[in-house]
Structure 1
Amino acid sequence: MINYQVKTNEEYQEAYKRSVEDPEGFWTDIADTFTWRKKWDKVLEWNFEEPNIKWFQGGKLNITENVLDRHLKSRGNKLALIWEPNDPKERFIRYTYRELYERVCQYANVLKKNGAKKGDRICIYMPMIPELAIAVLACARIGAIHSVVFAGFSASAMADRINDAQCSMVLTSDGLNRGAKQIPVKRVVDEALESCESVQKVIVVERLGWAVNMKEGRDVWYHEEVEGVSKECPAEEMDAEDMLFILYTSGSTGKPKGVVHTCGGYMVYAQYSFCNVFQLEESDIYWCTADIGWITGHTYLLYGPLLAGATSVMFEGVPTYPDNGRFWQVVDKFGVTIFYTAPTAIRALMGGDIEDVLSYSLNSLRVLGSVGEPINEEAWHWYHTHVGKDRSPVVDTWWQTETGGIMISTLAGVTPMKPSHAGLPLPGIQPILVDSDGNEIKENGVEGYLCMKFPWPGIIRTTYGDHERARLSYFSTYKGLYFTGDGAKRDENGLYRIIGRVDDVINVSGHRFGTAEIEEAINHNKHVVESAVVGYPHDVKGQGIYAFVTLKDKPEHMDWLRAEIIETVVEKIGKIARPDKIQVVSGLPKTRSGKIMRRILRKVAEGDTSNLGDTSTLLDPTVVDEIKEGAL
């Protein structure tokens, strides 16, 4: 057991009290348990106005020495990573901590051989294969900054991210398996790189054995580069506040935001939150089903579990292939004890035959978790009853790309659990609810905007190349506070329930998309004049995408137009952002200043048109009736 892991509700209360009264002392004790080349000069310096936040200043370390090297003596032969392929007939792969260390060192040496160095930005666009995890750690080993782009994003979305970070290298594969499909990954990279001048090298891992186009002088095969390369690679010394990675998240403007996390604070918070929320035990087999392309995969598939010396399962496939029982088959196969997935996956599996779950024992499961969006009560009960057999606690975790780790959650079996409530803040986290004027609402049994009044080690430091955007996005709405962008309720016992986004961001299957980003893609269609996109409740995805579109001219076949619009969105952003409903309208509800009243469109999309509020101030109130009548 890790010495800062709270095991009872009393211990939680004590830890929480200390973390608020003496935050610097609290985090010092936790940071002291890690391997540092040099201890820090100052624990914390911060203000939320600029914002300027620094943890463990002057501390020197390399996160991979904490992920790998420090475990070699006591856990060298313990399983670090178990990789389960897409096809259940293909053999799984296991790596001990010693083997993973050697693979990471080799990949790091390949990066150096191809010109990568400390401070370089490296884009990783890979399927969920072991080399993805290894590549991420290899970048951190040499002090290069990784920017993982989910291998379902389009060439255009990837190019935007490469150009924003000015990446010098792309790490990829020939193709990928996803369910019954095989997708040509390298072809997407080639298309993206037509508009990316900063990229000097592309390193390609062979997954499918496909013939791919290799550009001379730029593209190399990983299996050729790694031949005869040393299994030792000294870790680059980093400052605690040096950049560890950039991860792009959708913003309310069309351009994705590059969220920056740093080496020291992120490391401390990733391990701390992982051990406490899931109540880690040495013998656990832990499985987070997220793709490493999202923050959940960064923190709770890779860094958090490996920092803690746990065994982490990585899965290439999808929950419904070859059938709806795949998750449960994998749980039984490896004796998974902690299972962490998204409400979207749970709801999709709920829709299938209950025998898909009941035909597996699932006796090994000890803790269940959900992530990505609030889990609705029906899904919570199904998960708890059929998967957890009414005995495994469910941790409904609330956090964001920007927070680096879980902020509000039940600690498994330790703090109170209530369906569809995230629960209490972790020690070190100081949430408050405010009204629209930014005044704190102190009592319980209330609703408000969720903010944080004090920094934690995993907090976002900046948005890459545009610090002002970080300030405007998170620190300018309410003075002296970090604004999460979410509304929340706090019940009589102080448990938090997250209501959802209050800004122009849609949460589809736990992945955030700015409405502006989708609208920009739709507006590329030659028939479209203007569009407005809102989210609406969706049984499986949590939120679906509803697009209202005005046209220059009405084409002969409306179905063709809808197909064209969807194709454009998929091409510009990716399949995950495709609109579920497209309603053609003659005009959009706008104020006299030209602002689109999305509140009205949201109500129409939700089927709740009984109270649309005062529409008389609109430029043309009659469009509202037309939109209501044509609602899909």
Structure 2
Amino acid sequence: MKQQSVWIPTQEQIEQSRLYKFMQKLNFKNWDDFYQYSISDVGRFWHDVAVDMGVIWNEDYNEVIQLDQGKAFPRWFVDGKLNITINCLDRYVEDSMRRNQLALIWEGEDGKSTKYSYRDLLYEVNRFAKLLLQMGIGPTDRVVIYLPMIAENVIAMLAIARIGAIAVPCFSGYKSVALQYRIKDCGAKAVITADGFWRRGKLIRMKDEVDKAIENTAIEKVVVVKKLGCYIEKNENTDIFWDTPVDQLPPAVPYIAEADETFMILYTSGTTSKPKGTVHTHAGFPIKAGFDAGYVMDVGIGDILFWSTDMGWMMGPWMVFGALMNGSTMLLYEGTPDYPTPDRLWSIVEKYGITHLGISPTIARSLMKHGESWLTTHDTSSLQVFGSAGEPWTEESWYWLFEQVGKKQIPIFNYAGGTEVSGGILGNILIKAQVPCGFNSFMPGMDADVLDPSGTSSTQTIGELVIRQPWVGMTKGIWNNKDRYMLSYWARWKDVWVHGDWVSKVDGHWYTHGRSDNTIKIGGARLGPAELESILIRHHAVLEACAIGVPHKEKGESVICFVILHHLSEVEDTSGLESELTQFVADKMGKMFRPKRVYFVPDLPKTKNGKILRSVVRATYLGEKLEDFSSLEKSKAVEAIKQCQKF
């Protein structure tokens, strides 16, 4: 059935949008013509974007894109030099009309708040940059950021970039094992953390997790933010407090980097092995995030962008650069959107006048169940655009956000891309009509397509989302693992990036259908099953493990695990062992990733070379037909999983 457009922009809304004004500068009035221009010569397009954004170069580039090493390894803005923090801070502070404009608002779960102007933020970034230099941190050194959503998180990221070091943001909910893997993989020299923070009224001790995580690593220094003032075990050899005086130290001069020098490593999930450290550059991630936010989501001067996320997920850094590259304001909220009462999110919107609000479908579903009474007591008239990313929508929750919250007047900027992309591949362009749950276009500059198994463009069935040409913001690779990068994205079809999402196109709109590579999405956060399975196998009772994601009404997906025990016959209390294993995962990975169930099975479906067939496990458990593995239907492993359905 054809979907009817439920939000249609007025001509005035179209003409006032930054995207349309950009199109006009380039002599385009028709969206389709503009999009074709954006992918017909990607070098010319991204040059036009950089010019219109006013990117400041310390040394200009001589060539926009160079493909000497192939599409998988493009060089962007060749010979150009810059420091991205100059583009995010200095240029506004040097403008007397803008230096005192709000750059960052922070609110804690306890209601406390702090505001920073662009001048304030630059001062704090310079102060912390001096401390980093005093600690011996320099260009290319990796610094892990393990902090809650507090202002120091943003300050640290910018200060690290300012001195030419490499920031490695990590999810604040990780336990020591997950954190240690990332510390070791990137070879980090320092960690920035806090003593702790409050989440749903419960004290979360971060420094304790760091102390365990840095054992047997190359970490030399741990910077501690005394956020709560709670007791911590201080190591005199490694620990240094965030507020250590630096007044007598020389100023931190911005490091002028090559355009393609690394400034950040963001970890995403792997499905058949460990998490991947995606590499991002000074002239990559910030420009892509800034363009998507400023031109497509229409974030500009005077706007306040608030995306409910964590700095360890892509949308955290995206919010930072999406706001600062456009001279707007970001809001960081440390708590959960429904604590202590279900109207917390709407009270923040009212209190600060949020204009652009980003929430996942999971958050929408969790707030929807509380009813509209928590919403109607707040003035949300400041809202101009909703943002959504991380997982597919259900129609019920999409309509609730659009009709009950937005009163059918506010468009939903549905946005799909990934950590490796620095932003979006699919989006809801605000100058085109929108349908429920869908996307109305590929993003400008993204030469994307949907392919069937033969590699042919498909509009009739669900297919693989791919990209045919490089783009600004494309990951430079996977940290220290070129082979894995090529295998993950470039191995299936020659010179084609395979993103790993199932997508379909119906009547001119696109729809996502989850991951094609088994990645589990919980509340918008991505988890590679291999990472969780590796935790389970560490338990003395577990021989093998398989983790899958299954539909969950509120969270999008929940985790179900199947394990083979070393000696099943010796286990007298399986329910007790199940509880022990779910807690074991929560202790190592964080509560968010606690499995809903752990089943004990004698065998698991595998390929001839021993690879566990997660797709078969998932389909069997959900009662779906095994189209591609019909020969396995009566195998003992499949039968054992079918039995799990009964409990």
TM-score higher than 0.5:
yes
Give the distance between the partners of 1:361 and 1:312, measured in 2 at CA: 20
Q: Select 1:288's aligned residue among 286, 298, 307.
A: 307
Taking the TM superposition and a 5 Å limit, the aligned residue runs for 1:54-73 are 54-72=75-93, 73=95
- 3-state DSSP of counterpart to 1:483: strand
- 3-state DSSP of counterpart to 1:75: coil
Give the distance between the partners of 1:37 and 1:394, measured in 2 at CA: 38
Taking the TM superposition and a 5 Å limit, the aligned residue runs for 1:194-273 are 194-196=215-217, 198-226=218-246, 233-273=252-292
In the alignment, residue 232 of structure 2 is paired with which amino acid? V
Give the distance between the partners of 2:114 and 2:164, measured in 1 at CA: 27
Cα deviations across residues 57-111 of structure 1 (Å, max 9, x unaligned)?
11000000000001111410110001111112x3x11111111111111011111
Contact 2:146/2:170 (<8 A) preserved: yes
Contact 1:487/1:498 (<8 A) preserved: yes
Q: Select 1:96's aligned residue among 110, 117, 130.
A: 117
Give the distance between the partners of 1:200 and 1:597, measured in 2 at CA: 41
Contact 1:450/1:488 (<8 A) preserved: yes
Segment drifting more, 265-274 vs 43-52: 43-52
Give the distance between the partners of 1:3 and 1:256, measured in 2 at CA: 35
Give the distance between the partners of 1:448 and 1:487, measured in 2 at CA: 5
Taking the TM superposition and a 5 Å limit, the aligned residue runs for 1:41-120 are 41-46=62-67, 51-72=72-93, 73=95, 74-88=97-111, 90=112, 92-120=113-141
Aligned CA distance change for structure 1 residues 375 and 47 (closer, same or farther; 3 Å): farther
Contact 1:374/1:398 (<8 A) preserved: no
Match of 1:334 in 2: 352
Aligned CA distance change for structure 1 residues 623 and 221 (closer, same or farther; 3 Å): closer
Taking the TM superposition and a 5 Å limit, the aligned residue runs for 1:366-377 are 366-377=384-395
Match of 1:319 in 2: 337
Identity of aligned residues (%): 34
Give the distance between the partners of 2:305 and 2:105, measured in 1 at CA: 10
- 3-state DSSP of counterpart to 1:498: strand
Give the distance between the partners of 1:321 and 1:208, measured in 2 at CA: 19
Match of 2:7 in 1: none
Cα displacement (A) at 1:425: 1.0
Aligned CA distance change for structure 1 residues 614 and 68 (closer, same or farther; 3 Å): closer
Aligned CA distance change for structure 1 residues 46 and 599 (closer, same or farther; 3 Å): same
Give the distance between the partners of 1:164 and 1:626, measured in 2 at CA: 37
In the alignment, residue 544 of structure 1 is paired with which amino acid? S
Contact 1:276/1:411 (<8 A) preserved: no
Taking the TM superposition and a 5 Å limit, the aligned residue runs for 1:74-473 are 74-88=97-111, 90=112, 92-196=113-217, 198-226=218-246, 233-300=252-319, 302-412=320-430, 414-441=431-458, 444-473=459-488
Aligned CA distance change for structure 1 residues 615 and 137 (closer, same or farther; 3 Å): closer
Match of 1:13 in 2: 32
Aligned CA distance change for structure 1 residues 49 and 578 (closer, same or farther; 3 Å): farther
Give the distance between the partners of 2:80 and 2:627, measured in 1 at CA: 55
Aligned CA distance change for structure 1 residues 595 and 158 (closer, same or farther; 3 Å): closer
Cα displacement (A) at 1:290: 1.1
Aligned CA distance change for structure 1 residues 202 and 5 (closer, same or farther; 3 Å): farther
Contact 1:54/1:241 (<8 A) preserved: yes
Give the distance between the partners of 2:627 and 2:47, measured in 1 at CA: 52
- 3-state DSSP of counterpart to 1:617: helix
Cα displacement (A) at 1:448: 1.2
Contact 2:18/2:298 (<8 A) preserved: no
User: What's the TM-score once normalised by structure 2's chain length?
Assistant: 0.92
Match of 1:485 in 2: 500
Q: Where in structure 2 are there 5+ consecutive unaligned residues?
A: 1-16
Segment drifting more, 100-109 vs 270-279: 270-279
Match of 1:586 in 2: 602
In the alignment, residue 12 of structure 1 is paired with which amino acid? W
Match of 1:621 in 2: 635
Give the distance between the partners of 2:518 and 2:21, measured in 1 at CA: 37
In the alignment, residue 457 of structure 2 is paired with which amino acid? E
Q: CA RMSD in A?
A: 2.1
Aligned CA distance change for structure 1 residues 599 and 166 (closer, same or farther; 3 Å): closer
Cα displacement (A) at 1:602: 1.2
Give the distance between the partners of 2:136 and 2:303, measured in 1 at CA: 39
Aligned CA distance change for structure 1 residues 561 and 5 (closer, same or farther; 3 Å): farther
Give the distance between the partners of 2:203 and 2:153, measured in 1 at CA: 17
Taking the TM superposition and a 5 Å limit, the aligned residue runs for 1:505-516 are 505-516=519-530
Give the distance between the partners of 2:629 and 2:479, measured in 1 at CA: 40
Give the distance between the partners of 2:400 and 2:284, measured in 1 at CA: 36
Contact 1:172/1:203 (<8 A) preserved: yes
Q: Where in structure 1 are there 5+ consecutive unaligned residues?
A: none
Aligned CA distance change for structure 1 residues 203 and 446 (closer, same or farther; 3 Å): same
User: What's the TM-score once normalised by structure 1's chain length?
Assistant: 0.94
Match of 2:8 in 1: none
Aligned CA distance change for structure 1 residues 420 and 42 (closer, same or farther; 3 Å): same
Segment drifting more, 569-578 vs 448-457: 569-578
Contact 2:621/2:641 (<8 A) preserved: no
Contact 2:19/2:296 (<8 A) preserved: no
Cα displacement (A) at 1:291: 1.2
Cα deviations across residues 158-202 of structure 1 (Å, max 9, x unaligned)?
111111111111111111111211111111110111121x11111
Aligned CA distance change for structure 1 residues 329 and 605 (closer, same or farther; 3 Å): farther
Give the distance between the partners of 1:399 and 1:68, measured in 2 at CA: 27
Cα displacement (A) at 1:447: 2.5
- 3-state DSSP of counterpart to 2:568: coil
Contact 1:48/1:482 (<8 A) preserved: no
In the alignment, residue 415 of structure 1 is paired with which amino acid? K
Cα displacement (A) at 1:156: 1.1
Q: Select 2:551's aligned residue among 537, 552, 555.
A: 537
Aligned CA distance change for structure 1 residues 229 and 386 (closer, same or farther; 3 Å): farther
How many residues of Structure 1 are paired with residues of Structure 2 in the alignment?
621
Segment drifting more, 578-587 vs 220-229: 220-229
